[in-house]
Structure 1
Amino acid sequence: MQTSEIVIAGDTPGIEWRLPVIRFKGSDAKAPSVYIQAALHANELPGTALLHFLCARLRKADEEGAILGDITIVPQANPIGAAQSHFGEMQGRFDLASRTNFNREFPLVALDDRESLLEGREALTAVNRLKRELLHMAVGADLMLDLHCDDQSLQYAYIDDAFWPEASDLAAALKMEAVFLSDGESTAFEEAVGYAWKHEGKAAKKTRLPGRLAVTVELRGRCDVYPEMAKADADGLWNFLAGRGVVRDDAFVATPYEGPAFALDNIEIIRAPQAGMVLFHRDIGDTVKEGDLLATIVTRPGMAEGDIEIRAPQEGLVATRSSARFARRRDDLMKIACAEPSKAKRKAGTLED
């Protein structure tokens, strides 16, 4: 195991950020290489917990010569966001300086132009230098896992159509309860990695990428940071690495993924029509039918005539739910994964900012 730090100069004198990187050298040049990061949204820590326990297992495997492919791990990918606090609460999703989501606006470059990511860094802001360092490491691997979490949610993942159904082994290993098949049309980290691979060489854009994987894994909710849960997730990720030949494990047995996969166009995002207190009637993991009562918005406490009922637009699986119990107008309350497309129009790319 090798450890190092990438130093990122701050945008004001006397400030710098340090990005720890952990590397395990593989013994087989033909084995896939892997890049895994967590906490790009700095306040999403289930992935950091997973990697803490996975690294312990990888250190043991390293001593036993069981690591076949090169593995690069960045357990806390956003030291800038981790230092942002407003009235005692970490603000890890958006850069306070630019108001930009830390998981947006990654450069879209072809794999052949990978080294251009590190050119002229001194003229960029600290956040953009961080993004380029992360992307440079990731596109050089064969497999990339970006570990996130939702607010309150099932275990699921965003997977580009170009990697499906080959990526069902990851869904099975992590016991995912759903897969969202994305269209690869945004500047999020996962899709910037996929873009680089799709545009490798001078041939036409690739639509299938066998042997590669770029995925955003949503490890349940932000508060789901527990040792036993993280250990189980680390074991699942180990099994994925074993199945792909990155580590050697003679006891590994592959299992099929039997859960559902939904196109992003089939995700109903339930929003609050007005501001008010939220009373949820359904929880994550529930299957609802069209017309079922999902939540009540209490707009005028003490006056029942101000209550607004929100009902399911179609049958589906409640995949996520907000932890907030007061909503502003148009706040997201739930995501429901459905068999049929939503009637709401959706632009290509990510579901939310």
Structure 2
Amino acid sequence: MEQHHHPVQGLSLGTFREVVSFHFKGQAACGPKVYIQAGLHASELPGLLVAHYLREKLLKEEENGSLVGEVLLIPVSNPVGLDQTLLTYQMGRFDLASGENFNRHFPSLVEEVALKVECELTNTAQENVKIVRRVLSDLISKRETVRAVDSLRNTLLQLSCDADITLDLHCDCESVLHLYTHPSSIDDVMPLAALLGAQATLYALEQGNNCFDEVAASFWAKLQLRLPRFPIPVPTISVAIELRGQLDVSHLLAEQDAERILDFLRVRKVLSSPLSIEMPKASHEPTPLDGTEVLVAQKPGVIVYLQSCGVYLKPGDPVVDVVDPISGQTTRYCSGVEGVLFARQNRRYAMPGMDLAYIAGNSPLGRGSLLSA
């Protein structure tokens, strides 16, 4: 195992932050590269503990000679957000200096890459992947950043841009385990959903505002459209894994999740050690992210949930009440679609416009930006 340190630029005088990466390398230099990061939303802690167990287990796999290719692990991918503590509360979703969501606005660089590779591309898809990755990595390394949030994004892109599998570990407020992915990755991702026991897998060509896992795959899809006369595949399986809710932090869950992720790497031939369990069947079919119904509070009040995460709902099923104790009025919100209630708030007071619940429906609803702030 190699440990590398990547300083974050753009910080105040007298301060220092760095991203620490762990590199596990197998016998076959030409094997697949897997990139795994945790804590891009720094207040989402389950992934950090999963990364802790992944480090231990990957070290053993490396020592046993079971690793093929390379696994790059970043247990804390957002040291800037992790240090944003305000009145004892950890504020790791938004950069307090800019107001931006840490997991938005990753640069795509499609146009810049297209201009540089057009004269180099061949009629061989795999050769084109190598060319594009070389040029993309070079462009990222030369990007000038001023703000710390952009320096952080640049570092993560530089480390991940040549990965064959990208796993971004997150969690929701309160939720069951669920996944986000690109349509090109669905068939490859569903075994991971089955192994993890996920209850929803949501896919979209574009989730909105260039989040990390989207850019990893959509870059290639957009490059295909930009240069249609060349064979350009989407070589990266990209997934955001939502590891239940923010308070679902336990040694038992984290070690189980880490082992299931390693099982997925065994399925993908990244590890040569045998499967630890039988391959289960996925509990669900993937659904379009645009089919997700979001119940939004219209009035302020106390939130009272009537359904638990993981419940399969039908149209008309009551989901949540918002109670105004001054007027005595209760506003009830019901499901308008059929699907799994996969996430809800962990706060119990609603302000108008606040998202209350998310239900994975099967049919697109024609919404705009598909992710919350």
Shorter-normalised TM range:
over 0.9
Alignment equivalent of 2:357, drawn from 323, 326, 334: 334
What is the CA–CA distance in structure 1 between the aligned matches of 2:231 and 2:318, rounded to whole Å? 40
1:167-186 equivalence runs, <5 A = 167-184=189-206, 186=208
CA 1:205/1:32 → structure 2, altered by over 3 Å: closer, same or farther? farther
Using the TM superposition, give the Cα deviation of residue 347 of structure 1 relative to its aligned residue in structure 2, in angstroms: 1.1
> What is the aligned partner in structure 1 of residue 100 from structure 2?
100
Matched, 1:313 2:346: no
Given that 1:162 and 1:208 are in contact with CA atoms closer than 8 Å, whether structure 2 keeps it comes out as no
Structure 2 residue matching 1:13: 3-state secondary structure: coil
Given that 1:109 and 1:195 are in contact with CA atoms closer than 8 Å, whether structure 2 keeps it comes out as no
What is the CA–CA distance in structure 2 between the aligned matches of 1:23 and 1:213, rounded to whole Å? 19
> What is the aligned partner in structure 2 of residue 227 from structure 1?
251
Alignment equivalent of 2:170, drawn from 148, 155, 177: 148
Alignment equivalent of 2:368, drawn from 329, 344, 347: 347
Matched, 1:288 2:316: no
1:174-323 equivalence runs, <5 A = 174-184=196-206, 186=208, 187-198=210-221, 203-204=227-228, 209=233, 212-252=236-276, 253-301=278-326, 303-304=327-328, 306-323=329-346
What is the CA–CA distance in structure 1 between the aligned matches of 2:58 and 2:295, rounded to whole Å? 41
Using the TM superposition, give the Cα deviation of residue 279 of structure 1 relative to its aligned residue in structure 2, in angstroms: 1.2
> What is the aligned partner in structure 1 of residue 120 from structure 2?
none
What is the CA–CA distance in structure 2 between the aligned matches of 1:176 and 1:206, rounded to whole Å? 36
Task: Single out whichever of 37-46 and 24-33 deviates more from structure 2.
Answer: 24-33
What is the CA–CA distance in structure 2 between the aligned matches of 1:49 and 1:11, rounded to whole Å? 27
What is the CA–CA distance in structure 1 between the aligned matches of 2:46 and 2:227, rounded to whole Å? 39
Using the TM superposition, give the Cα deviation of residue 176 of structure 1 relative to its aligned residue in structure 2, in angstroms: 1.0
Structure 2 residue matching 1:167: 3-state secondary structure: helix
Given that 2:302 and 2:322 are in contact with CA atoms closer than 8 Å, whether structure 1 keeps it comes out as yes
What is the CA–CA distance in structure 2 between the aligned matches of 1:74 and 1:191, rounded to whole Å? 18
Given that 1:37 and 1:75 are in contact with CA atoms closer than 8 Å, whether structure 2 keeps it comes out as yes
Matched, 1:132 2:154: yes
Q: What's the TM-score, normalizing by structure 2? A: 0.88
Given that 1:144 and 1:214 are in contact with CA atoms closer than 8 Å, whether structure 2 keeps it comes out as yes
Amino acid at match of 1:14: G
What is the CA–CA distance in structure 2 between the aligned matches of 1:46 and 1:14, rounded to whole Å? 31
1:75-94 equivalence runs, <5 A = 75-94=75-94
Given that 1:139 and 1:197 are in contact with CA atoms closer than 8 Å, whether structure 2 keeps it comes out as no
Matched, 1:35 2:35: yes
**5+ residue gaps in structure 1?**
none
CA 1:183/1:119 → structure 2, altered by over 3 Å: closer, same or farther? same
Using the TM superposition, give the Cα deviation of residue 205 of structure 1 relative to its aligned residue in structure 2, in angstroms: 9.4
What is the CA–CA distance in structure 2 between the aligned matches of 1:207 and 1:47, rounded to whole Å? 36
CA 1:310/1:208 → structure 2, altered by over 3 Å: closer, same or farther? farther
Amino acid at match of 1:291: G
Q: What's the TM-score, normalizing by structure 1? A: 0.92
What is the CA–CA distance in structure 2 between the aligned matches of 1:207 and 1:336, rounded to whole Å? 37
Deviation track 1:70-103 (CA, whole Å, cap 9, x = no partner) reads: 1100011000001111211111000011110000
CA 1:166/1:52 → structure 2, altered by over 3 Å: closer, same or farther? same
What is the CA–CA distance in structure 2 between the aligned matches of 1:268 and 1:207, rounded to whole Å? 37
Amino acid at match of 1:283: S
Given that 1:163 and 1:209 are in contact with CA atoms closer than 8 Å, whether structure 2 keeps it comes out as no
Structure 2 residue matching 1:52: 3-state secondary structure: helix
Amino acid at match of 2:215: A
Using the TM superposition, give the Cα deviation of residue 199 of structure 1 relative to its aligned residue in structure 2, in angstroms: 5.1
What is the CA–CA distance in structure 1 between the aligned matches of 2:85 and 2:160, rounded to whole Å? 28
Deviation track 1:267-311 (CA, whole Å, cap 9, x = no partner) reads: 00001110111111111111222222212111234x43x221212
What is the percentage of aligned positions where both structures have the same residue? 30
**5+ residue gaps in structure 2?**
111-132
Deviation track 1:153-191 (CA, whole Å, cap 9, x = no partner) reads: 011111110111222121122121110012235310011
What is the CA–CA distance in structure 2 between the aligned matches of 1:205 and 1:199, rounded to whole Å? 13
CA 1:190/1:225 → structure 2, altered by over 3 Å: closer, same or farther? same
Task: Single out whichever of 126-135 and 26-35 deviates more from structure 2.
Answer: 26-35
Given that 1:271 and 1:332 are in contact with CA atoms closer than 8 Å, whether structure 2 keeps it comes out as yes
Task: Single out whichever of 68-77 and 172-181 deviates more from structure 2.
Answer: 172-181
Richer in helix (by share)? 2
CA 1:242/1:184 → structure 2, altered by over 3 Å: closer, same or farther? same
Q: CA RMSD in A?
A: 2.1
Deviation track 1:302-339 (CA, whole Å, cap 9, x = no partner) reads: x43x2212122233211111111101001001001123
Given that 2:10 and 2:151 are in contact with CA atoms closer than 8 Å, whether structure 1 keeps it comes out as no
